[in-house]
Amino acid sequence: MSVMEQWVTDHDDETVIVVSAEEFRAAAEQALDELGLTYAELEQQARQRDFSSAQAHALWVSIGGTVDL
C-alpha cells in the first residue's frame, strides 16, 4: 500500500491515511478472504444484524456500502 496523503488530526492519537480506490478495494477483498466471506455474505449478515464474528461486524462498519465486490 502506498500512502497518498497522511496527516494528524486535532486529536493527538489519531492519524488519517488516504489510499487509492484500488488499494482500498484490494484491502477489502483481502479482509473478506481472511474471514472466509464474500461481500454478499457480509452484506446479508448486516441486513440480518447477525454477524458471524466481531471481526465481520468491524469490517462491515469499515467497508459496508463503500465497495462493489
5-8 vs 15-18, strand pairing mode: antiparallel
* Domain residue ranges of the chain, discontinuous segments joined by +: 20-69
pLDDT at residue 55 in the model: 98
Mean pLDDT of 21-27: 93
Tell me: pLDDT of 1 over 60. no
| Nearest by Cα to 63 from 43, 45, 41 | 43
Cα–Cα distance measured from residue 16 to residue 10, given in angstroms and rounded to the nearest whole number = 11
Q: Grid coordinates in use for 45?
A: 449478515
The confidence band for 6, taking pLDDT boundaries of 50, 70 and 90, is: low
- The pTM (predicted TM-score) of the whole model is 0.76
